């Protein structure tokens, strides 16, 4: 007797990315989302303002941003590995613990396991996107730097260069700090998850008389 398994291939391409992003919005409170986005936005704004006021020279600012970009790519790659490994830890735990999380309802159509996996998945997606954009930005900063180097140093030149730097750098730095804040929250989730596994193991030991 054979069992036929059909795979549903309908739906939009990479729809799971859209679903995970929606899950982050759904399972995060308004205060958490505001903190995850507005605080990084304020940090990036302050960083760029300080760079413009203290350095002023567009080529030097771009050089600093290029160095920052290289560091970010390395750090975010490590964070992506951490979040992927954390998902592996969650998936490799015993069936009873996973069942306990799955049965822990948070609302009508959600549970702790879904929320946990969604948040880690969201982090990994954001970090992979940062890596992709970061590689592209290496070329963009080089192009901008070569253009800036051939423009006469005038007041209008400074305003244009600083405006371009601000438009590109503020959203970029905001997303980077956003991913860092999400990863910090993930550490808290992983901490509580490991404690839950430990508590479940302790309860089993007491039940078995160990």
pLDDT digits (tens, 9 = 90+) for 98-144: 676 666 655 555 567 777 788 888 888 899 999 999 888 888 888 87
Q: How far apart are CA 37 and CA 75, in angstroms?
A: 19
pLDDT beyond 70 at 155: no
Report CA 175 to chain centroid distance, whole Å: 7
pLDDT beyond 50 at 30: yes
pLDDT beyond 50 at 1: no
Q: What is the pLDDT of residue 4?
A: 45
Structure token digits, residue 136: 């592209």
Global pTM value: 0.77
What is the overall mean pLDDT for the chain?
78
Q: How far apart are CA 138 and CA 17, in angstroms?
A: 25
What average pLDDT score do residues 14-20 get?
74
Band (pLDDT 50/70/90 cuts) for residue 54 is: confident
Among 2, 48, 8, which residue's Cα sits nearest to residue 174? Answer: 48
Q: How far apart are CA 186 and CA 78, in angstroms?
A: 14
């Amino acid at each position: 007797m054979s069992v036929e398994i059909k795979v549903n291939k309908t739906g939009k391409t990479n729809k799971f990315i859209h679903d995970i992003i929606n899950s982050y919005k759904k399972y995060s409170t308004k205060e958490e989302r505001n903190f995850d986005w507005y605080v990084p936005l304020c940090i990036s704004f302050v960083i760029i303002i300080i760079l413009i006021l203290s350095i002023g020279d567009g080529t030097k600012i771009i050089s600093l941003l290029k160095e920052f970009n290289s560091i970010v790519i390395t750090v975010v790659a490590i964070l992506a590995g951490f979040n992927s490994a954390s998902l592996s830890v969650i998936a490799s735990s015993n069936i009873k613990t996973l069942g306990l999380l799955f049965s822990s309802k948070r609302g009508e159509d959600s549970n702790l396991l879904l929320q946990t996996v969604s948040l880690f998945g969201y982090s990994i997606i954001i970090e992979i996107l940062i890596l992709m954009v970061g590689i592209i930005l290496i070329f963009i900063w080089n192009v901008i730097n070569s253009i800036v180097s051939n423009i006469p140093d005038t007041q209008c030149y400074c305003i244009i260069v600083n405006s371009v730097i601000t438009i590109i750098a503020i959203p970029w730095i905001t997303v980077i700090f956003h991913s860092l804040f999400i990863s910090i929250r993930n550490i808290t989730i992983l901490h509580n998850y490991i404690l839950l596994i430990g508590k479940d193991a302790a309860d089993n030991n007491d039940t078995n008389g160990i």
